[in-house]
Chains A and B, each alone.
Chain A
Amino acid sequence: MELLRFTTAGSVDDGKSTLIGRLMYDTKTIFEDQLEAVVTSSKKRGDENVNLALLTDGLRAEREQGITIDVAYRYFATPKRKFIIADTPGHIQYTRNMVTGASTANLAIILIDARKGIVEQTCRHSFIASLLRIQHVVLAVNKMDLVDYSEARFDEIVSAYKEFASRLQIPQMTFIPMSALNGDNVVEKSANMPWYQGAPLLYHLETVYVGSDANHVDARLPVQWVIRPQSNEWHDFRGFAGRIAGGVFKPGDDVMVLPSGFTSKIKGIHTADGELEEAFHPQSVAITLEDEIDISRGDMIVKPNNQPNVSQDIEAMICWFSEKQKLNPGGHYILQHTSREVKAKVTAVRYKVNVNTLHKIEDDLEIGLNEIGRVAFRTSAPLFHDSYRRNRITGSFVLVDPFTNNTVAAGMIR
């Protein structure tokens, strides 16, 4: 069984909670005691119907305000795949939540209300999906029951979306007309829309090909930890442990270690289950080398004929997360990139992006909560990086405020 991670985005009331509730209900992921609790609280709140949204609204503060305010993760499985949903709230100011949810997703479902068509938030959600390099986007045109299941209305929305999305980079787009409330084209094909030739949502989620989303070309192993057993049996064992961030490693491969530049050959690729013939993303392994080289956490094992960029000057798109402070031009931050941690100084703010229109803003360069902009940094030590476009792991970082220790921004390297 494979794993598919997806994120869901939509404006408030487009039917996101209903859709997730339905996916979980129809795949038998909702248990009796959970349903019971929801029935009880729906009654307490005076809701007319059982409010499936309560199933997914986890925390007390949210229940009180009736809105979801943070990314929540939900799970369901069918015989074909296991799914992890990063459920992000549609509330207007929470760009940061969608960015967070999108960072680990292979696929994004963007909901729209068929009556309203494409709205500002649809643009924002699509832009974020594209920025975070989500390879597969599903535009779920919901509430088709309220537009008489009209094929013309659906076509109109699809062509408007394609027109807009041509400015983005989304490799695969799928359009599905549905009614989350009634279940049309969610799990079962809709009898109300015989004109729709495509598959229902769940079938698409079960079969969409995600095998080539990860980078299997540029070999990268950020070293997390060095395994040095204190036992006689393993006396000389020095395993460089980490999760493969890209490419394929095999015993006998020539490798180079950054930052030292020393080269060696892979002696073995070790796991507790035995040695591997090859290792690729996202496997966690420990590599031993033919030569004794001094390697520690934060170093990166690569191949001599395929090296990442090594530099102290970084250009990146960042999304700002802190409500307490804005990005300080000239400010110092801690930058976490793979297993490496360096200091970073902001050297320039190039522009900001209006996430609703995709226009560049160059006359106001203050980056605050939920804003996205292009920023240049100078780091205290070189980073070994690829562009985010090429590799989501070696191309991403977070900024940490050295005084509060909070994560204040996410960055995608150009």
Chain B
Amino acid sequence: MSHSYNLNHLDHLESEAIYVLREVAAQFQNPVLLFSGGKDSICVAHLAKKAFWPARPPFPFMHVDTGHNFPETIAYRDEFIANIGARLVVASVQDSIDKGRVVEEKGPNASRNALQTVTLLDAISENGFDCALGGARRDEEKARAKERFFSHRDDFGQWDPKNQRPELWNIFNGRMSPGEHFRVFPLSNWTEMDVWQYIKKENIPLPSLYFAHDREVVARQGTLLAVTDFVTVAEDEKAETRRVRFRTVGDATCTGAVESDADSLDAVIAEVAAARQTERGTRADDKRSETAMEDRKRQGYF
């Protein structure tokens, strides 16, 4: 053999994710890609574009909109999706509140994060989606380490960690009964570092929130929250302007910023490499209990 047939790790992960995306298109009748505007879902969307090129991805994208967005995210979302040529479905938490499907939390730590689950499950059943593609990775959190690529959800949208289907080789079993659905995670084997390196390699544009900028924030329970219309500063708290960036982009009420001077991709990558906190460490919603993520997942969270 004149040369060895080796792929580097990013090419390997890319080809695996593309394989998974194509399986989804082939095995499900009506899949949807969950698009939050965060870097992981941006990666999945980018991979979907590549998997079906030169055709468009054969499924719509859905944004579960908490209404508590950073304005940058929405502008980015609309441009990015228009670029790929996908159809966008917006499922709104505000609608769920207005319809009385959920009741809004009260108090200074009120978050719509938990409400998203109901909106998501309602949207899945209203649209008849049988598979929701997400950008979750196994390295994010302990409860995710045992998650499958093809994750079965019962007809209440729930995940049963004790009753998961074994997944061998690259064979995925997407069979289900009516009313059930699947969550599929093409980035299962990626780490946060892989995602950043891939974004750099592919030159994928990101929302500006990911890079260092000056912003008014308030320190709350060890997390820096951006002061927005949805985050009220209590009397004993002090809002101040700091140089920050976000490691994940979600609901503005619970996504913490980190102090940072990293204003370019290379600087962010250097920071990630040196980081001593997981990215979920900046999310207030995971700190509520040690098994917070597992509990939310069981109920049908992303």
Tell me which residues from 52 to 76 in chain A have a Cβ below 8 Å from any Cβ of chain B: 56-61, 63, 69-75
- CB neighbours of B275 from chain A (8 A): 31
- CB neighbours of B165 from chain A (8 A): 406-407
CB distance from A43 to the nearest CB of B (A): 12
The answer to whether A229 and B55 have CB atoms under 8 Å apart is yes
Tell me which residues from 28 to 62 in chain B have a Cβ below 8 Å from any Cβ of chain A: 49-56
The answer to whether B166 and A31 have CB atoms under 8 Å apart is no
Residue of B nearest to A247 (CB): B5
Residue of B nearest to A285 (CB): B15
- CB neighbours of A75 from chain B (8 A): 138-139, 189, 191
Q: Does A149 count as interface, using CB distance less than 8 angstroms?
A: no
The answer to whether B171 and A77 have CB atoms under 8 Å apart is no
A sample of 13 more A-B contacts (CB under 8 A), given A40-B290, A82-B191, A99-B168, is A3-B8, A32-B281, A59-B143, A72-B146, A73-B138, A75-B191, A211-B4, A239-B54, A272-B50, A283-B7, A284-B14, A284-B19, A398-B168
The answer to whether B278 and A34 have CB atoms under 8 Å apart is yes
Show 30 residue pairs from A and B whose CB-CB distance is below 8 angstroms, ordered by the A residue: A2-B8, A31-B276, A58-B142, A59-B294, A60-B294, A63-B291, A70-B161, A73-B145, A73-B146, A73-B188, A75-B139, A75-B189, A81-B9, A100-B166, A211-B5, A216-B1, A225-B25, A227-B53, A227-B54, A234-B54, A242-B19, A242-B22, A271-B50, A280-B5, A282-B19, A283-B7, A283-B11, A400-B175, A407-B173, A410-B168
Residue of A nearest to B279 (CB): A31
CB distance from A114 to the nearest CB of B (A): 29
The answer to whether A405 and B169 have CB atoms under 8 Å apart is no
> In the complex the two chains form, what is the Cα distance from A166 to B138 in whole Å?
37
> In the complex the two chains form, what is the Cα distance from A37 to B141 in whole Å?
12
CB distance from B131 to the nearest CB of A (A): 14
The answer to whether B145 and A72 have CB atoms under 8 Å apart is yes
- CB neighbours of A397 from chain B (8 A): 171
- CB neighbours of B10 from chain A (8 A): 1
Contact mask A94-113 → B, CB, 8 Å, 1/0?
00110110011000000000
CB distance from B219 to the nearest CB of A (A): 17
Contact mask B173-200 → A, CB, 8 Å, 1/0?
1011100000000001101011000000
Pairs A-B, 10 closest by C-beta atoms: A272-B50, A272-B53, A33-B281, A229-B55, A284-B18, A103-B168, A405-B175, A284-B15, A72-B145, A82-B9
Instruction: From the candidates B13, B49, B169, name the one contacting A272 in the complex (CB within 8 A).
Output: B49
Instruction: From the candidates B6, B144, B169, name the one contacting A103 in the complex (CB within 8 A).
Output: B169
Q: How many A-B residue pairs have CB under 8 A?
A: 187
- CB neighbours of A40 from chain B (8 A): 290
CB distance from A245 to the nearest CB of B (A): 9
The answer to whether B173 and A336 have CB atoms under 8 Å apart is yes
> In the complex the two chains form, what is the Cα distance from A95 to B297 in whole Å?
27
The answer to whether A224 and B169 have CB atoms under 8 Å apart is no
> Which residues of B approach A to under 8 Å, CB–CB?
1, 4-16, 18-19, 22-23, 25-26, 49-56, 138-139, 142-146, 161-162, 164-171, 173, 175-177, 188-189, 191, 193-194, 275-278, 281, 290-291, 294
> In the complex the two chains form, what is the Cα distance from A243 to B170 in whole Å?
10
Q: Does A139 count as interface, using CB distance less than 8 angstroms?
A: no
Q: Does A303 count as interface, using CB distance less than 8 angstroms?
A: no
> Which residues of A approach B to under 8 Å, CB–CB?
1-3, 31-34, 37, 40-41, 56-61, 63, 69-75, 77, 81-82, 84, 87, 96-97, 99-100, 103-104, 211-212, 214, 216, 224-225, 227-231, 233-234, 237, 239, 241-243, 248, 270-273, 280-284, 286, 297, 321, 334, 336-339, 392-393, 396-398, 400, 405-407, 410
> In the complex the two chains form, what is the Cα distance from A397 to B168 in whole Å?
9
The answer to whether A3 and B171 have CB atoms under 8 Å apart is no
> In the complex the two chains form, what is the Cα distance from A396 to B52 in whole Å?
26
Instruction: From the candidates B7, B51, B189, B291, name the one contacting A73 in the complex (CB within 8 A).
Output: B189
- CB neighbours of B4 from chain A (8 A): 211-212
CB distance from A23 to the nearest CB of B (A): 14
> In the complex the two chains form, what is the Cα distance from A82 to B143 in whole Å?
22
> In the complex the two chains form, what is the Cα distance from A82 to B276 in whole Å?
19
- CB neighbours of A81 from chain B (8 A): 9
> In the complex the two chains form, what is the Cα distance from A31 to B141 in whole Å?
11
